[in-house]
Each structure stands twice: as C-alpha cells, then as structure tokens.
C-alpha cells in the first residue's frame, strides 16, 4: 500500500482500472468457456438418434466428435486471447484518457512549484477546466494573497525596526566617542568597558544596516542591467580585504578571465565582498583561496573555494537563513550576525543568478555562481 500511495494520480487510476478490467475479463472468459462447453452436444449421443430418424438425410450437419473438440479448443483459445488483449488495450486507453483528464491538475501543480518567496506576487491562471479545478485555483490564489501579505508585513516590520534602531545607536556611538575624547584620565577598566561598548554598538549598527539592506533588496531597490567588469570588481574587493586578514597569511590563487557580469554594481559588490570575506574569515592559518571566473557556452561562471573548516551537508541548506549558526563554537570563534549569506541570497535571486554551496572532494568549501547567457546578452 505504501508503494501504491507513492504512485502518481494517473498511474493509480490506471492500476485500479486495470485490476477491474482484469477481473471482469477473466470472469467473462471463464463464463464463455464454461457456457460453450455446455452448449456443445456430445456427438456420440446425438448421432444414433439422428440416424434412427433419417439415416440417409444428407442435409443433417456432420457431428464428428473430433471436429467438435477442435472447435471447442479454438473457441477457448480465442476467448483467452481476446480477454488478454482487452485488458492490455483497455488499460492503455485508460492511461491515455486519465492523463488527458488530469492535465489541468498537472499544470496547476507546475504553476504552484514556480512560485516561491521571490515571486509571491504571481498568481495562477484560470484556464478552461472543470469547476473543481477552478475552485482549487481560486483557493491557492487566496492562500498566496495571505502569504504575500504576511511576508510583506514581516519585511516592513524588519525595515521599520531597523530604521527605529539606527538613530539611537548612532547617538549612543557618538556620545561614547565624545566621552572617550573628553575624559583624559580614565582607568584601564573604564577604557576596556568603553571599547567593549563601542564594539557592541558597532556590531548592532552592522546588524541594522544588514536588515535594511535585506528589506531593500527584496522590495525597493531597482535591479539595473549595467555591465560590470568582474575581474576589476574582484580585484578591488581583494585589495580591500587582504590587509584585514594579513595575519592569516592566506595564499590567494586568481584565475580571472576578462568578462562582465550584468546587474546593479553596488549590490554585486556586496555579494562578492561577503563571499570573499567568508573565504578569508573561515579559512585556516597559511590556507588558500581559489577564485576563478570564465565563460562556458556563453554562460558566466564564478568559483570561490577555500581551505579551512568544511560544513556538514545537513547545515548547507540552512546557511542562507537569517541568524543561522552552524554550531555555538562558530559563533564564539567568528564574528558576525549571520546575515551575510541571507543578503547574498536575496541579491542573487533578484539578479536571477544561480548559485550553490558545496564541499568538494578535496575538503574545500566552494561556492559556484552562474549567470546564464540570456542575462549576459
């Protein structure tokens, strides 16, 4: 029963109908064979009587027993063959007809699968179909309305909260900086406390900026189709990040073709800044980073790989969730709020750039990005 439940609706209908056809065909074949047996009169019983009445009547049919047996066998054989082909042809016709009948359901399923959090404004089309399909389409569209409204409220709340937090954090930071400058005679403990407070304020400010960026990239920022020289963009980011992680002594291997990426320059800068910063941050001492960009079949492909801690596959699908941490040890060891890859995901989705995170066979953490020809042309 479990395997049957896993079958498609079309296959279930076909299997059930095929079983019914088989039962009916077998019953009819058995009945026909049995009935034929009863209708055939044994020749040895009928011939004497006929000869007694009219022994020389040439118009009486032949009642040869052997002929009757052969006729009976032929009848049985044809009945079985007819029953078999009835089952096969009937089951095949049911599969074809049921496929046509449930085609609106399949199209509805495909339409639902295309909708995700990045295109919640899309709605399913009402095509010529039965009342049940139209009612189901209406129900799904009403559900999408509610989901879109909930997502919109959530994003608006995040943006509003971030705006409300930004101003007091800026005031706190400015006040603390002024206090540090005005009070020349501070104890060592006061200096440490002020530095810790300033660090936490900066961290909260960064979280607020990230939340604003997430809200803006999903709602308000227009994605322009500008041509950005990818090799120059990556080199600029590397030049900015390398001094910050100089103590790691990372060996950087670049293989950049002269190619362009299409999109918003500022947002694309943030994407590659976050990805390359992660490659530095989660690396090991004397580790390596490989960055490669090239064209293949006119599709732009970018690969960023680094040594260091690999990520368990069970965590990979959750890395783009806001504030997600692989484990508590990573939270203590590495700074950050856990919003970097969420920002990356939102920006790449707006640019229709495909990407994935994986561990390769050499125990490297790799990020692969693809911008299809349709976007680059």
What is the tens place of the pLDDT at every residue in 307-363?
987 787 888 888 888 777 776 555 555 556 677 888 888 888 888 899 999 888 778
Quote the CA–CA distance of 228 and 292 in Å, as a whole number: 16
Q: Is the pLDDT of residue 272 over 90?
A: yes
pLDDT bin (cut points 50, 70, 90) of residue 43 is very low
Q: What are phi and psi of 263, to 5 degrees?
A: 160, -165
> What is 131-217's CATH number?
1.10.287.130
Query: Directed axis angle between helix 230-241 and helix 265-281, to 10°?
Result: 50
Residue 292 has a pLDDT of 93
134-184 per-position pLDDT tens digit: 888 888 889 888 888 887 777 777 777 777 777 787 887 787 777 777 666
Quote the CA–CA distance of 6 and 281 in Å, as a whole number: 45
> Mean pLDDT across the chain, nearest whole number?
79
Strands of the sheet containing 299-306, edge to edge, are 251-256, 288-296, 299-306, 365-371, 354-359
Average pLDDT over residues 277-286: 88
By C-alpha distance, which of 75, 125, 351, 338 is closest to 230? 351
196-221 per-position pLDDT tens digit: 788 778 778 777 777 777 776 665 55
What are the E-state strand segments in the chain?
226-229, 251-256, 260-263, 288-296, 299-306, 354-359, 365-371
Quote the CA–CA distance of 360 and 189 in Å, as a whole number: 47
Residue 72 has a pLDDT of 76
Quote the CA–CA distance of 140 and 361 in Å, as a whole number: 43
Q: Could you tell me the residue ranges of all domains in the chain?
A: 131-217, 226-372
The kind and range of the H/E element at 37 are: helix 9-39
Q: Is the pLDDT of residue 305 over 60?
A: yes
Q: What is the value of pTM for the model shown? A: 0.59
pLDDT bin (cut points 50, 70, 90) of residue 367 is very high
Average pLDDT over residues 84-100: 87
User: Top-level CATH class of 226-372?
Assistant: alpha beta
48-87 per-position pLDDT tens digit: 544 444 455 554 455 556 776 777 788 888 888 888 888 8
Residue 44 has a pLDDT of 43
């Amino acid at each position: 029963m479990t395997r049957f439940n896993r079958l498609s609706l079309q296959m279930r209908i076909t299997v059930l109908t095929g079983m019914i056809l088989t039962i009916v065909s077998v019953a009819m074949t058995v009945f026909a064979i049995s009935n034929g047996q009863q209708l055939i009169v044994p020749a040895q019983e009928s011939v004497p009587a006929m000869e007694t009445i009219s022994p020389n009547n040439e118009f009486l049919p032949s009642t040869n027993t052997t002929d009757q047996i052969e006729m009976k066998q032929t009848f049985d054989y044809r009945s079985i063959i007819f029953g078999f082909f009835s089952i096969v042809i009937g089951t095949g016709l049911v599969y074809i007809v049921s496929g046509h009948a449930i085609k609106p359901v399949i199209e509805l399923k495909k339409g639902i699968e295309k909708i995700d959090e990045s295109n919640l404004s899309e709605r399913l089309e009402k095509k010529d179909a039965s009342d049940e399909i139209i009612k189901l389409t209406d129900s799904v569209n009403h559900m999408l309305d509610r989901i879109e409204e909930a997502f919109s409220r959530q994003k608006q709340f995040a943006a509003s909260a971030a705006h409300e937090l930004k101003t007091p954090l800026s005031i706190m930071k400015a006040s603390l900086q002024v206090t540090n400058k005005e009070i020349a005679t501070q104890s060592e403990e006061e200096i440490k406390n002020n530095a810790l407070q300033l660090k936490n304020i900066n961290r909260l400010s960064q979280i607020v900026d990230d939340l604003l960026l997430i809200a803006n990239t999903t709602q308000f920022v227009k994605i322009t189709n500008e041509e950005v020289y990818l090799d120059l963009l990556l080199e600029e980011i590397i030049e900015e990040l390398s001094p910050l992680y100089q103590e790691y002594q990372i060996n950087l291997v670049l293989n950049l073709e002269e190619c362009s990426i299409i999109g918003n320059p500022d947002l694309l800068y943030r994407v590659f800044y976050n990805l390359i910063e992660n490659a530095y941050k989660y690396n090991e001492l004397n580790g390596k980073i490989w960055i490669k960009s090239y064209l293949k079949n006119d599709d732009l492909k970018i690969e960023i790989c680094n040594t260091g801690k690999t990520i368990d596959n069970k965590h990979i699908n959750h890395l783009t969730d806001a504030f997600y941490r692989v484990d508590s040890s990573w939270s203590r060891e590495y700074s950050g709020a856990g919003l970097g890859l969420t920002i990356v995901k939102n920006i790449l989705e707006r640019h229709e750039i495909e990407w994935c995170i994986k561990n390769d066979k050499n125990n490297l953490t790799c990020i692969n990005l693809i911008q299809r020809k349709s976007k680059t042309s």
